[in-house]
């Protein structure tokens, strides 16, 4: 490896050579089953030539124009084709270069919306244990202590409320029948405590992604949360960076709950890794206020013409191959296989998720749900064991208390076959047993 690459994974990484479907091959010819889509990014699979061709065709025609000077046919067509699928009223799409940029954009939209209405609201409320990105604003609304710790002197503008985490429910006296209203009460109390007219928006993933490994909230959660936001005039931002574009067996995670947010943020599956693409989407009433009041914001690579071509080609592939339905079917199969192979394992505390977003929480004591100490680096060892067996797994840490807690997160490409789904469950179980017996 070059000594001039600032590597994220050390100096002994294999070199990726090619990919096909749910498989990656390195330069030594070794095959890996992509059990995580990278970082739960790849939806339509590796090696889709139609997407590569769409990118090349657009780049040959024109590769870049500034979004303040030109629009493009690719962008206009993409927005028209995407809008009817979004769980929003009259959506307007603001393309950027990734999930963190999309979150930053949505936070600014929320602030600008209230300024346009003559209200000086500035506080954003996130959730404990959440992850929304690594730029400064996105990190501030996130609630993962280990990621925030080095940068705490730069953070502190956001507030954080409770998170629906059914395996470690913060309201055991209500669980499982009235958790949603309890979370809503906590949000309501925090808004009141922050002060009238101070809170601009509440941001959350409809289904918790990497940070909590596919945590699905109770059915009464989102209706109660949405009502609190409406009552206080607080915009609701749905972070669908990980849960969008079929990942959970519906077009968007919000669809499972009838949630219609004011703002959405999307990325990852939007371009399936073929291009760095994120989307901040404003509903009609938010967009109209922003246009009337002005929106001071922009990135050099926002509204990118090649990015729009990539997103459009990915969207077409998702629809043509009915991959949202496939995600639901393969997700059910994966859930059954994981429960069969790991359901009685003494170190498996919980298996959860929807569609092809699945989490396995590993524990030191299944009876008490006590996590392994972070010093044992359990999930890191499981990921290494998986790679040695030829399966790529996604790790997450700190779910239990901000420090301890180990999660295997699975999110294979939506094109994973039934045979590969069984193989993924078997290899994951084997990797866990290699480390934990």
Out of 293, 320, 347, a domain closes at 320
Full residue range of the structural domain in which residue 136 is found: 51-320
Looking at the domain assignment, is residue 403 inside a domain? yes
Shared domain for 102 and 36, answered yes or no, is no
The CATH number linked to 326 is: 3.90.1150.10
Looking at the domain assignment, is residue 283 inside a domain? yes
3-state secondary structure the chain: CCCCCCCCCCCCCCCEEEEEECEEEECCCCEEEECCHHHHCCCCCECCHHHHHHHHHHHHHCCCCCCCCCCCHHHHHHHHHHHHHCCCCCCEEEEECCHHHHHHHHHHHHHHHHHHCCCCCCEEEEECCCCCCCCHHHHHHCCCHHHHHHHHHHCCCCEEECCCCHHHCCCCCCCCCCHHHHHHHHHHHHHHHHCCCCEEEEEECCCECCCCCCECCCCCHHHHHHHHHHHHCCEEEEEECCCCCCCCCCCCHHHHHCCCCCEEEECHHHCCCCCCCEEEEECHHHHHHHHHHCCCCCCCCCCCHHHHHHHHHHHHHHHHCCHHHHHHHHHHHHHHHHHHHHCCCCCEEEEEEECCEEEEEECCECCCCECCCHHHCHHHHHHHHHHHHCEECEEEECCCCCCCCEEEEECCCCCCCHHHHHHHHHHHHHHHHHHHC
Q: Report in angstroms the alpha-carbon separations of 57 from 52, 60, 74, 277, 383.
A: 9, 5, 11, 18, 38
Shared domain for 314 and 283, answered yes or no, is yes
Shared domain for 198 and 281, answered yes or no, is yes
The CATH number linked to 221 is: 3.40.640.10
Looking at the domain assignment, is residue 129 inside a domain? yes
Shared domain for 154 and 37, answered yes or no, is no
Other C-beta atoms lying within 10 Å of the C-beta of residue 373? 12
The pLDDT profile of the chain, 437 residues, written as one tens digit per residue, is: 678 888 888 778 999 999 999 999 999 999 999 999 999 999 999 999 999 999 999 999 999 999 999 999 999 999 999 999 999 999 999 999 999 999 999 999 999 999 999 999 999 999 999 999 999 999 999 999 999 999 999 999 999 999 999 999 988 887 777 899 999 999 999 999 999 899 999 999 999 999 999 999 999 999 999 999 999 999 999 999 999 999 999 999 999 999 999 999 999 999 999 999 999 999 999 999 999 999 999 999 999 999 999 999 999 999 999 999 999 999 999 999 999 999 999 999 999 999 999 999 999 999 999 999 999 999 999 999 999 999 999 999 999 999 999 999 999 999 999 999 999 999 999 999 999 99
Shared domain for 296 and 194, answered yes or no, is yes
Shared domain for 312 and 388, answered yes or no, is no
Shared domain for 90 and 207, answered yes or no, is yes
Shared domain for 186 and 150, answered yes or no, is yes
Looking at the domain assignment, is residue 117 inside a domain? yes
Looking at the domain assignment, is residue 156 inside a domain? yes
Shared domain for 307 and 422, answered yes or no, is no
Question: Do residues 28 and 14 lie in contact, with contact meaning Cβ atoms separated by under 8 Å?
Answer: yes
Out of 270, 303, 320, a domain closes at 320
Shared domain for 41 and 136, answered yes or no, is no
Shared domain for 119 and 26, answered yes or no, is no
Out of 320, 335, 353, a domain closes at 320
Residues 6+ positions from 54 with CB-CB distance below 8 Å = 309, 310, 312, 313
Looking at the domain assignment, is residue 5 inside a domain? no
Looking at the domain assignment, is residue 340 inside a domain? yes
Shared domain for 299 and 279, answered yes or no, is yes
CA dist 190 and 174 (Å) reads: 20
Looking at the domain assignment, is residue 8 inside a domain? no
Say what the alpha-carbon torsion angle 148, 241, 91, 296 is, to the nearest 10 degrees. Answer: 30
pLDDT of residue 176: 77
Question: Do residues 94 and 270 lie in contact, with contact meaning Cβ atoms separated by under 8 Å?
Answer: no
Number of domains, the chain:
2
């Amino acid at each position: 490896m070059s000594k001039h690459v600032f590597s994220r994974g050390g100096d002994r990484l294999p070199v990726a050579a090619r990919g096909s479907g749910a498989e990656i091959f390195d330069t030594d010819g070794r095959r890996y089953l992509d059990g995580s889509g990278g970082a739960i990014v790849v939806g339509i699979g590796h090696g889709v030539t139609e997407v590569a061709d769409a990118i090349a065709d657009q780049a040959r025609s024109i590769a870049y124009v500034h979004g303040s000077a030109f629009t493009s046919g690719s962008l206009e067509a993409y927005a028209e084709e995407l809008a009817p699928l979004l769980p929003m009223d009259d959506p307007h799409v603001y393309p950027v270069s990734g999930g963190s940029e999309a979150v930053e954009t949505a936070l600014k939209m929320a602030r600008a919306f209230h300024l346009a209405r003559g209200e000086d609201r500035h506080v954003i409320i996130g959730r404990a244990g959440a992850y929304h990105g690594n730029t400064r604003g996105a990190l501030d609304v996130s609630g993962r202590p280990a990621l925030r710790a080095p940068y705490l002197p730069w953070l502190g503008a956001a507030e954080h409320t409770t998170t629906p985490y059914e395996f470690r429910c913060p309201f055991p006296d209500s669980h499982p029948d009235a958790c949603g209203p309890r979370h809503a009460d906590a949000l309501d109390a925090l808004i009141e405590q922050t002060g009238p007219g101070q809170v601009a928006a509440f941001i959350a993933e409809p289904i918790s992604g990497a940070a909590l490994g596919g945590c699905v909230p109770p059915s009464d959660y989102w209706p109660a949360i949405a009502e609190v936001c409406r009552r206080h005039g607080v915009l609701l931002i749905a972070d669908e960076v990980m849960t969008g574009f079929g990942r959970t067996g519906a077009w968007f995670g919000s669809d499972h709950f009838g949630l219609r947010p004011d703002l959405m943020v999307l990325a990852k599956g939007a371009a399936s890794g073929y291009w760095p693409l994120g989307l901040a989407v404003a509903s009609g009433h938010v967009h109209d206020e922003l246009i009337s009041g002005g929106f001071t914001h922009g990135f050099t690579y926002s509204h990118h013409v090649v990015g729009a071509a990539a997103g459009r080609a990915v969207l077409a592939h998702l629809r043509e191959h009915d991959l949202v339905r496939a995600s639901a079917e393969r997700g059910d199969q994966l859930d059954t296989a994981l429960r069969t192979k790991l359901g009685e394992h003494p170190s498996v505390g919980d298996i959860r998720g929807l569609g092809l977003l699945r989490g396995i929480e590993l524990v030191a004591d299944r009876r008490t749900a006590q996590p392994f100490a972070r010093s044992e680096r359990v999930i890191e060892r499981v990921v290494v064991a998986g790679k040695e067996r030829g399966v790529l797994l996604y790790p997450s840490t700190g779910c239990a208390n901000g420090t301890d807690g180990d999660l295997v997160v699975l999110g294979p490409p939506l094109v994973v076959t039934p045979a590969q789904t069984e193989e993924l469950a078997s290899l994951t179980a084997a990797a866990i047993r290699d480390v934990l017996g």
